[in-house]
A and B are shown apart, each in its own frame.
Chain A
Amino acid sequence: MNAPLLALLVLVFPAAGAALLAGRGWRLPRIFTVIVGPGVVWLSFLATIALFFDKTNADFTYWTWIKSGSFDVPFGLLIDNLSIFMCFVITGVGGLIVTYSVGYMEHEDDPSYARFFCYMDVFVFSMLLLVLADNFIFLIVGWAMVGLSSYLLIGFWYQRHSAVVAARKAFVMNVVGDVGMILGTFVLFVSFHSVTYDRVFRSLQSCRADLGLLCPVPAADTGSLEVAAFLLLVGAIAKSAQIPLHTWLPDAMEGPTPVSALIHAATMVTAGVYLVGRMHPIYDIAVYAHAAVAIIGAVTALFAATIAIVQTDIKRVLAYSTMSQIGYMFLAVGIGAYAAGFFHLLAHAFFKALLFMAAGNVIHAMHDEQDMRKYGGLWKDMRPTAITFLVGSLSLVGVIPFVGFFSKEQVLGLAFSKPDDNMVHVLWAVGFATALITGFYTGRMWWLTFWGKPAPNRAVEHPHAPRLVMMIPVAILAILSTVGGVVQTRAIGVGPAAVDGFLNSAVGRVPWEGGGAEIAVTFVTMLLAAGLFVWALYSRPWSAYAPWAQRLVEHKYYFDEAYDWAFVRPLDRVAAFGLRGIEQPVIDAAVIDTGLVARAGAASLSLTQSGYFRNYVLVFVGGALVAAVIVLVRANS
């Protein structure tokens, strides 16, 4: 098996699965969907493993899609350690989630069942295309298709009005990001006359102003590079649900829980992090955009964590938690610690998918009730789920020895210890506060669901234990969350740094060392966060303090209302004008009136068909006369 073929197979398997399910799946028995749906994702996983052991590191071009002057777009796949890393996350965690959803979606009828797995396979394909593409155009193709899959899956239960509205909202905001991506690509093409990573980055290498090398883009023109970096960042912000393009993520919880797990926790929302990491040569030079990445990440992390405190829907808590953790990833890649950011991406994929799927078990058992105030005391009835949820929660809070500790604390530690950068130290403080709040809301969530006495209006008296196919992926992820930390223990100062090493060839090393202060701060953070977790388990209701703050946070800082006033309503008016002022009188009228004119013409012409024989003969004779006159005139002239 040679590497180019393997790389192509990674993409082809989910695409083939989607095509099969779209074409035949809804007509064949369910077992077909059960095998094909998750099966192709696992096949992709195996292909990724093969590529890993092959130690491939190359850029394969398969064919040229567009060639127009210097605009040359090949269909090519870039296989380096970063791509393989992302493929592992997508196919591995994705495979577990798709397998889990075999059980979760069992109540759907056969055509919808096949449709779900078809959309999931489309999504996996798109996400793999996004991370494997070796040029900006196919990156954007994958980017847009991922947005499409998200729309299709959020609105999967399309009979529900709220789901349709949420899907539309997600799609529109993603399109805003897509526009940023495309414009950024335009700027880069104008500067470098190429859209492949290879050529663009090589042109940039000689541009390091600090090294004083010759540069096709003069140093004064880093302006255009900054513009491109900011535009690409817009795309990353939209896809990763960071401020200000974050409002779609909580609404996206309308989709089925496996969708939330796969797309809105483990993979799609991490595409923004991948983007910054992949474009690190650009961001290393465009320092303002780079700083913006870190600032946006940190602010979003804190902001989302505060909102998570007051949420009552278990999936919304997890959604805001996702937003917050991705903020950490943005902070990491924003300060230059790319490998740390990706390690947190991996860890987050583990424990967030775990949390979503365990929550899915609870929701499934409680007959689709998602309000945590109607839970309570499930520790007794759903012990395995409660334990796995606890593992995920502790990982999220960042308690040793779970993987979340090693990843999150590494990020915070690096921010703390970055030399000569006061802004980053401020961001560290923001991240520190966020970690504490994370402990609090996670504890609240676990307490409301599993601890204490059952709520008086609990939806189901005796919830059933989940099926095996739903429990095993959860268990696997719980194990991974527990032991996953061993691959990179830099947070405690000793031990292996496998992720750093693996990604070094792709994104480079962190240029500074932590030292003892970093480790100390790490442990302090962990202890305080864990303490708040425990306090939340036993504290009393807290809404009595500062009701105005409560209201502000409950309304998500009024972002939705602001956007509605600033964008939605004016556009509605424009659209209404377009309908009544332009579409109906001009375009519709042109089309309909053409028909009316034709009909009137025909009606008037049909008057000649009087049905009277003698009229027709009269016309004959008249015509013959005209012809005779013409002949006469011609003959005489």
Chain B
Amino acid sequence: MRHIVRHELFWPAVTLALLLVASSLFNASFLTLAWRDGHLYGSLIDILNRAAPLMVVSLGMTLVIAVRGLDISVGAVVAIAAAVAALMIGGSFSATGEVQSQYPLWLALTTALGVAAACGAWNGLLVVKAGMQPIVATLILMVAGRGIAQLLTGGQIITVYYPPFFQLGNGFLLGLPVALWIAGSLWLALHLLMSRTALGLFVRSIGGNPEAARVAGVRSSAITLCAYTFCGFAAGVAGLIVSSNVKSADANNAGQLLELDAILAVTLGGTALTGGRFTLAGTVIGALIIQTLTSMIYSLGVPPEVNLVVKAALVFAVMLLQSAEFRGIVARVARGRSASTS
């Protein structure tokens, strides 16, 4: 029992479970799953589907934070990737009434991901080679990136008409959303990289003490650069899912404030913002917590103008629940009570 409570994922998991229970109290059909047209349907599947882009971005963010970095440009990179993909696919009706994509789908997708990864590498170079503070280095792309995306789309919302592209954000595979499969495989790949190669040890040593890692011969710069590049790539994947989901690219709003949600998801999952200690599974749970919160607020019918306040209050409560210090205070107060009454 003690072993379970001590586990790093215990409190994130408890938080998620509590939120799910709370949601099911407000909405009786919340936990029901139905099988229709060969797909699973239900609020839970909805949450998983909608959380997928956040999960993907947060996984990248976890790596960057683990090596003592931070990337606040991911929202802008989402917008860039979405814009590149939408522009390259576009779609026009041929004589036969069939929709054609401008460039082959695979080319559009790889280009969008390549551009996103290049954005990440740019961030990494600024941090590793130019020695900038991560928050400052990525602030540049956070501001400029959205501008680049707007430049690409000419300030317009680019609509995509090519149906195969819609699969990413709307399709189902073996009864589950495609987006969930993407997020899941990204997590699995990262998890294997961390546990089956020495990368996990290197990342934790760089995050724990960068100078000691360097002296021990770990290629800190190369690994840190890779972490930022991967973070950009992950944001690109999220951008594709998002734009596929809404069948368009909106340079102004795609991925807006996503960087903050991602940092929050990483923190909620139990990764230390100071670097070194990180958990990929925790990050996935953190992203699910945030999406469950959002869905809960919608299903409660909270008026839009107080939406953010309610979310802030809930996030605050969740953070308190996760704080070991706060739990200690509560436990002490409770013990004091029971001692004085007995």
B is bound to A? no
Instruction: Name B residues whose Cβ lies closer than 8 Å to a Cβ of A.
Output: none
Instruction: Name A residues whose Cβ lies closer than 8 Å to a Cβ of B.
Output: none
